[in-house]
Amino acid sequence: MSDTVVTRFAPSPTGFLHIGGARTALFNWAFARANQGKFLLRIEDTDKARSTQEAIEAIKQGLSWLELTPDEEPVFQSQQQDRHIEIAKQLLEAGHAYRSYATESEIEAIRTKAREDGVAARYPGRDEPIAEEFLEQSVVRFKAPIKGKTTIHDQVQGDVTIANDQLDDLVLLRSDGTPTYMLAVVVDDHDMGITHVIRGDDHLTNCARQIQIYEALGWTLPTFAHIPLIHGDDGAKLSKRHGALGAEQYQTMGYLAEAMRNYLARLGWAHGDEEIIPTDKLIEWFDLKGINKAPARLDIEKLQHINGHYIRNSDESTLITEIAALIEKDDFGQELTYDKHLIDLDTLKQSLPFLSERSKTLVELLNSAKYLYQSIPLSFDAKATKILDKDQVPEILKGLKNELENCPKWEKEDIERLLKQFAAAKGLKFGQIAPPLRAILTGSTVSPGIYDVLYSLGQQESLKRIEAFF
């Protein structure tokens, strides 16, 4: 086996790239990068009934968004079928596999008897050849060792030992001659030169069976690391009701790719007490020892906290690029409170310094910028209408209009000084002038700071919106 670290992400193309798969891909990618190795992608599409081109594209797009780029073109498992069959025949010739035929009812009876005896099932053909008339209908089974134990030396789980009499003779080739996943994954990992298999711990039992195939073929074992699965906040296995969405859906919800990488890395792996882990530091620090044994729990609030950090600390050009990509998404807009086609990126860019301060997602940021794109007359929500209906509000707004018309320089410092001077001169608290001004300018009681609102709208637009009230 090569001295160069080679990892792989091997999804089945039966759906989107879910968050658990994205984390597995990240761990494989990060380990390869941390060790100056290679990260490969294998599409395990042997299940023709469930595999779709749409799912393949969703997986590729999800990896692309997360910037987890494979170092070579993807390998499609279905295209390696002749090689899988070749190895199955090699195992047959070496006596490590056998042809077996039994009806479904016979197989069930064998398994029932094995369960009663507390051992793995053994099938007809293992100890003597089957009748010639059954050859065409037969499957090829692996002749698993009966005595002894198989130990998985796992980098996360530690040594896991399974008695061989608990592992039955798995099918290598189906009766139609097609290879099964259990054979294909071993052959493909060997042929691709995979040195480290990093995957979910739901493959742990499969791993023991695969080790037996490796040993029967005389092949060097890769290093195994089985990651605990992700659970929901209630401790149950992660599902859609917990927010287990496709990776790309998190993009449409306004999460940044680097923030997602940071969050996924911390979802079951740690480097001391670090919570904010930029990608360059992830590559520098990532190792298998940092992976936790206990299942990680999906925590959307923590994801939002991390995403907010990256939004606040991203430069304006990066944010505009991310927002532009977000706007182009066909399914974007479900959480946006206005038409995305109204968004003007040049106008938005000028306001990013304060819009990003409290935003946990890009969608939240864009919603807070809604006031920038409203046309006169504005529509007012219920709370804004209630504020504007107060008796003293028209007089306050007229006075503010006169002051704002004479603002010498339209800078935030000048606007702030003018508003505070106006409040003091009229004997008003600032809380009496800011809410109606915010309502008249944005149509809402919720917006960025009033100085930021006035500054970003500009003097002319601000005065127009106040005038439109009278």
What is the sign, positive or negative, of the torsion defined by CA atoms of 299, 300, 305, 306? positive
Report the candidate in 189, 197, 178, 192 with the shortest Cα–Cα distance to residue 49: 178
Q: What is the 3-state secondary structure (H, E, C) of 388-416?
A: HCCCCHHHHHHHHHHHHHCCCCCCHHHHH
Which one from 48, 147, 240, 289 is the annotated catalytic residue?
A: 240
- Compute CA distances 88 → 140, 143, 209, 216, whole Å: 8, 11, 15, 11
The DSSP letter of residue 427 is T
| Rounded Cα gap, residues 461 and 470, in angstroms | 15
Token representation of residue 77? 């498992």
Q: What is the dihedral of CA 330, 331, 332, 337, to 10 degrees?
A: 120
| Rounded Cα gap, residues 160 and 402, in angstroms | 79
Let me know: does 442 contact 376? Beta carbons within 8 Å: no
| Burial group, residue 338, by CB count within 10 angstroms (0-12, 13-18, 19+) | middle
Let me know: does 24 contact 202? Beta carbons within 8 Å: no
Let me know: does 35 contact 6? Beta carbons within 8 Å: no
| Rounded Cα gap, residues 188 and 240, in angstroms | 31
Instruction: Please confirm, yes or no, whether 240 is among the known catalytic residues.
Output: yes
Token representation of residue 446? 């919720």
Report the candidate in 138, 136, 113, 145 with the shortest Cα–Cα distance to residue 124: 138
| Rounded Cα gap, residues 146 and 84, in angstroms | 24
Count of beta carbons in the 10 Å neighbourhood of residue 208: 20
Query: What's the chain's length in residues?
Result: 470
Report the candidate in 334, 327, 263 with the shortest Cα–Cα distance to residue 297: 263
Contacts of 424 (CB under 8 A, 6+ apart): none
| Rounded Cα gap, residues 425 and 228, in angstroms | 65
| Rounded Cα gap, residues 49 and 175, in angstroms | 17
Point out the residues that are catalytic.
Answer: 240
